[in-house]
Amino acid sequence: MDCTTKKIIAVLKQLSLIAEDGKNGYKKAAENIKDINMQDLFIRFSCERAAYLGELQQLIINAGGTRDDHVDMPGSLHHIRIGFKSAVLLQNTHAVIYSCAVGESVAIKLYCAALGQKYITGNVRSVLAGQLSCIQTAMQIITSYGSVAVV
C-alpha cells in the first residue's frame, strides 16, 4: 500500500470516529432531553451519522484498509465526550445543545482539514463534501434552538 493510500485511510478512520461519536452522542441526547421536537431531531441526526459511518467504512475498505485498524482519537473529541456526558447527566437542555454544537464544530473543522488535502480526490472527496454539507446544516439547526456560543 502506498503512502498516499495510507494517508487517505488514516483520514477516513479519523472521520469515522467522529461519525461514530456523533451517532452515539445524538442517540444519548435524544434519550435524555425532554423536548419531543429535539428528541426527533437528535434521532434523525444519529441515523445520519450512522449512515456516514457506513459510507466511511466502505471507503476505507475500497482503499484497501480494514475497519479494525486502530486510529487515535483527536484530543478535542475526548474533551467533547466528557463535556457531553456532563451535560446529559445534568439533563440541562441548553448544555446538551451546546455540547452537540461543539461536537459539530469539531467535525466541521476535521472535514474541512480533510478536504484541504490534495490527495483526497474523486469519490472520497465527493462523499466527504456531501457529509460536510449535511453537518453544516445540522449545526445551523442546532444553533437555531437557542443562542449557542460555539468556540
> Could you give the CA distance from residue 56 to residue 113 in angstroms, rounded to a whole number?
16
pLDDT tier, 151 (very low <50, low <70, confident <90, very high otherwise)? very low
For residue 6, what is its C-alpha cell? Answer: 495510507
Instruction: Find out whether 46 and 26 touch, Cβ atoms under 8 Å.
Output: yes
In this predicted structure, what is the pLDDT of residue 5? 94
Q: How far is CA 14 from CA 7, 66, 143, in A?
A: 11, 13, 25
How confident is the model over 24-80, as pLDDT tens digits? 989 988 888 888 888 899 999 999 999 999 999 999 999 999 866 555 555 545 445
pLDDT for 95 equals 77
Residue 82: pLDDT band (50, 70, 90) is very low
3-state DSSP percent of the chain in helix, strand and coil, to 5: 80, 0, 20
**CATH no., domain 3-144:** 1.20.1260.10
The secondary structure of 111-151, three-state, reads HHHHHCCCCCCHHHHHHHHHHHHHHHHHHHHHHHCCCCCCC
**Per-residue pLDDT reduced to its tens digit, 85-131:** 545 555 667 778 888 888 899 999 999 999 999 999 999 999 999 99
Residue extents of the structural domains in the chain: 3-144
The pLDDT, as a whole number, for residue 88 is 52
| pTM of the shown model | 0.84
Using a CB cutoff of 8 Å and minimum separation of 24, what contacts does 46-50 make? 46/22, 48/134, 48/138, 49/19, 49/20, 49/22, 49/23, 50/19, 50/23
